Amino acid sequence: MWDRARLLAAKHQAGCPERAEGCPRCHLALAAALAIDVPATASLDEDDAPGEIVEPDAGSDRYAILNDLLPHAVVAVADAAVGDESAQCGYGWVCENGTTGHGASMAHSSGETEVIGICTAALGVLHRSLDSPIVILCDSLEAVTTVNRALETCDPAVAHRTVVFPEGRQLLANLMPYRDRVQVRWLKGHIGHDLNESADALAAVALRHATGRIPAAVARKEQAHILRTLRFAQSEPPTAA
């Protein structure tokens, strides 16, 4: 399956007219093509991460296959950053429909930081997408597992070992009423995924501002630059081969 996914992605990437826009929906066609060639008895190894995205091998390849993503799902990527010298953290999220969010919070670990980012992203997208299912991608397997366990049990308390501060627990509790509409998936980080890179950059700027390293005016300027770069990457016309 891994080899077939890599070959399909490489073949698709060579001639896709949507390549410059990041192929926002091409994973659906790739997944369908992959399913045709995978025997019904095929299964992932037991060590594979739950909800893992099957992706091509090359680190520079941006294509990832979500083989069961609903066609009308709204997808967003969340990321977070935590400082070494304080409990302050920054988070950022970017949705494929163009909406974004970022801010600062308190966290005792990188795991809790990412949980805060996931919850904030999910709630932000939910408030803008009243009926659609929501898929939040994050490159922290610990955070993805933690949030999914809370959603499955409808009990934020199961995350108590990862989420310590009251703010993070409240965000999880706020997400519980929407548990039937939210999926949280793992996404390999830093593979050239536009939304992932932008969410990471927004989180880093939010952290620098929260810890006093840059003033608010500089933070706003950097955040605006990140969003302009993202929109340019998404709207750039395909280049001739």
Q: Is residue 27 part of a domain?
A: no
Nearest residue to 54 via CA among 174, 145, 42: 42
- Strands 88-95 and 100-106, how do they pair? antiparallel
Is 171 among the domain residues? yes
User: What's the number of domains the chain is made of?
Assistant: 1
Q: Which residues of 220-233 are buried (b: 16+ CB within 10 A; e: fewer)?
A: eebbeebbeebeee
pTM of the complete model: 0.69
Alpha carbon distance 24, 6 (integer Å): 18
Query: How far apart are alpha carbons 12 and 68 in whole angstroms?
Result: 19
Q: pLDDT at position 27, please?
A: 64
Query: Does the residue 138 lie in any domain?
Result: yes
pLDDT digits (tens, 9 = 90+) for 89-131: 999 999 988 889 999 988 888 889 999 999 999 999 998 877 8
In a domain, 224, yes or no: yes
Q: How many residues does the chain have?
A: 241
- The most distant pair of C-alpha atoms in the chain lies apart, rounded to whole Å, by 57
- Does residue 49 form part of some domain? no
Cα–Cα distance for residue pair 144/126, rounded to 1 Å: 18
Task: Write out pLDDT tens, residues 39-76.
Answer: 444 443 444 444 443 443 433 344 444 556 667 889 99
Residue 207 belongs to domain spanning:
74-234
Locate 72 and state its tokens: 């009308």
| Mean per-residue pLDDT, 214-225 | 91
pLDDT at 17: 73
pLDDT of residue 40: 43
Domain for residue 36, yes or no?
no
- Chain mean pLDDT for the chain: 78
Contact of 191 with 59, CB cutoff 8 Å: yes
Which CATH number is 157's domain given? 3.30.420.10
Rounded to an integer, the average pLDDT of 219-240 is 71
In a domain, 191, yes or no: yes
With a cut of 90, say whether residue 20 has pLDDT above it: no
pLDDT recorded at residue 51: 40
**pLDDT higher than threshold 60 for residue 239:** no
Residue 42 lies in a domain: no
